[in-house]
Chains A and B, each alone.
Chain A
Amino acid sequence: MFELKMVKGSTLQGVLEAILDLVNVANVDCSSEGFSLQALDTEHVVFLSLFFPSEAFQSYRCDEDRSMGIAIADMVDFLRSSNDGDIITIKATDQNLEDITITLESPDKIKTMAIDLRLVDATSQCLKIPDWNDMESDYQAIFCMPSEEFRLNCKSLSVIDDDVVISVNEEVISFSTKGESGCVNISHVMNKTDKPEKASVILTHARGPLSLTLNWRYMKSCAKVSKLFDQVKIGLSTKRPLMVECQIVEKGYIRYFVAPLKAEEGKTET
């Protein structure tokens, strides 16, 4: 049996809403540790990998590992009809491998709504991605920034053009774009003090200057998810896609991987 319980207002619904910008269905793998979800956008440019640990929920039970294709669009539609404070239960039994049941219960237990959602085939969403610990060393630069700053950057950059250059060296991280109507250049000086301020950008490591050019259209879902968290971690590499991560409690994460248009080592945009 698989069962999780949470109070509406938790991060899950917000995350699912943002995933809808990428896909309508996603594959969910459940284990006793928590559940993971993979989603690949229709253009195959963005890949999302998330892990919600069991600790993120009020209660969580998974007796046996199972994989389920979920119609995220239908699930979100149902969750939208609930009120804040409702208790959400998602349940799958060993007797019925074709459906999951989602129940919404008002805090005073007066009203209950339930839906049986038919499982779908979402195996096309699955990619084989290496463990982050094995991949991390391929990232020449990793830094953290307040997600509000990241979101504001996403907003101001999208005004001008789709192509955005992210450049990083040991001193500065910059986001820039230029188009017919002008240009935007945002730079953040890295905070290197022992006591970083809350609003600062903190460099985890950088091995020389590096710049990535991305089509910012593909960052829409990522910018939406970052709103739900305090911090985002961004990884740049010439061998790997751009990585943007938000941390869910201690062990969980949402990681976006976005294929860049261009990756250059040894130079930064001025």
Chain B
Amino acid sequence: GRKQPTITNYFGRA
């Protein structure tokens, strides 16, 4: 199926 991108693709860990 389709892969849902995660928000960590956009923002790194603090």
A45 and B11 contact, CB distance less than 8 A? no
Chain A 42-65, CB-CB to B under 8 Å as 1, else 0, gives 011111000000000000000000
CA distance A44 to B10 in the complex (A): 11
A127 and B8 contact, CB distance less than 8 A? yes
Main SS at interface, chain B: loop
**A145 on the interface (CB 8 Å rule)?**
no
Interface residue stretch chosen among A70-78, A201-209, A246-254, A255-263:
A255-263
Q: Which of A45, A126, A215, A261 contacts B7 (CB 8 A)?
A: A45
Kindly report which residue of chain A lies nearest to residue B8, judged by CB atoms.
Answer: A44
**A129 on the interface (CB 8 Å rule)?**
yes
**A241 on the interface (CB 8 Å rule)?**
yes
CA distance A241 to B5 in the complex (A): 10
- Count of B interface residues, CB-CB < 8 Å: 12
Chain B 1-14, CB-CB to A under 8 Å as 1, else 0, gives 01011111111111
CA distance A114 to B12 in the complex (A): 38
A128 and B12 contact, CB distance less than 8 A? yes
Kindly report which residue of chain B lies nearest to residue A260, judged by CB atoms.
Answer: B5
Most buried by A among B4, B5, B7: B7
CA distance A123 to B6 in the complex (A): 18
A126 and B14 contact, CB distance less than 8 A? yes
B6 and A259 contact, CB distance less than 8 A? yes
Chain A residues with Cβ under 8 A from B5's Cβ? 45, 259-261
A128 and B13 contact, CB distance less than 8 A? yes
Q: Which of B2, B6, B13 contacts A126 (CB 8 A)?
A: B13
Most buried by A among B6, B8, B10: B10
A43 and B4 contact, CB distance less than 8 A? yes
Chain B residues with Cβ under 8 A from A47's Cβ? 7, 11
**A188 on the interface (CB 8 Å rule)?**
no
If A43-B4, A215-B4 touch, does A257 touch B14 (CB 8 Å cutoff)?
A: no
CB distance from B6 to the nearest CB of A (A): 4
Chain B residues with Cβ under 8 A from A222's Cβ? none
Kindly report which residue of chain B lies nearest to residue A27, judged by CB atoms.
Answer: B14
Instruction: Show the binding face of A for B, using Cβ within 8 Å.
Output: 40, 43-47, 123, 126-129, 215, 240-241, 257-261
For this complex, 7 residue pairs linking A to B, each with C-beta atoms less than 8 Å apart, are A45-B7, A128-B13, A128-B14, A241-B7, A257-B11, A259-B10, A260-B5
Nearest 7 CB-CB pairings of A with B: A126-B14, A44-B6, A127-B11, A128-B14, A47-B7, A259-B5, A259-B7
Instruction: Show the binding face of B for A, using Cβ within 8 Å.
Output: 2, 4-14
